[in-house]
Copies of this chain bind each other. A is one copy, B any other.
């Protein structure tokens, strides 16, 4: 049995953050497919046994069951020493971006993509609202990536892996992200060039 087992599914960018970290850090890990679209995370088994928050991913390591991609990334950085902050100040800077990611960068995009590309919902005032929020969040990251190559400075950390959750999916959500945000696009190329990089579909089972 693998050291690390990740409950995940290929369509989930939040799962991808953890899967990419496990892969790039050379961990002995295996994905466990979550039938999310069949309602797996809404079952009592999931909510009581794995995650009361009703979300994926969930990382199992020995007796530990960890949820929230930010917590999983921080845990793996501590365990492996890879993509970690060098001192308390850098760790805070990393958390700062992980929080921004969870609050704004990943979350609005993920919801917009879920509605349009997964649920095939039509455009609506809600998708228009979400797209505006995505653009505002991307502007902040674009600005940072014109100043530094990686979110927190001159080398990649778990902050970059967190924000990379949804930037390699390319379903149409009515937004030409890479034309609009060239610095983020160049950062995507730097991520892809990391030794061992793989896309979400190559790391996790999908439906």
- Chain A residues with CB under 8 Å of chain B are 47, 52-54, 64, 66-68, 70-71, 74-75, 78, 88-89, 92, 95-96, 98-100, 102-103, 107, 124-126, 129, 140, 143-144
Chain A residues touching B, majority SS: helix
A99 to B92, alpha carbons, bound, how many Å? 14
CB < 8 Å: which of B52, B64, B100, B140 contacts A140? B52
Do A95 and B68 form a contact, CB below 8 Å, given A107-B107, A140-B52, A140-B53?
A: yes
A-B contact pairs, 14 of them (CB 8 A): A47-B143, A52-B140, A53-B100, A53-B140, A64-B89, A66-B92, A68-B96, A71-B99, A78-B88, A103-B103, A103-B107, A126-B126, A126-B129, A129-B129
| Chain B positions within 8 Å of A64 at CB level | 89
A47 to B96, alpha carbons, bound, how many Å? 15
Q: Within the oligomer, what is the number of copies of this chain? A: 2
CB < 8 Å: which of B52, B75, B96, B100 contacts A143? B52
A95 to B69, alpha carbons, bound, how many Å? 11
**Closest Cβ–Cβ distance, residue A178 to chain B (whole Å):** 21
| Chain B positions within 8 Å of A74 at CB level | 92, 95
Apart from the given pairs A71-B96, A78-B88, 11 other A-B contacts in the complex at a CB distance below 8 Å: A53-B96, A53-B140, A64-B89, A66-B92, A67-B96, A68-B99, A68-B100, A71-B92, A74-B92, A107-B107, A125-B125
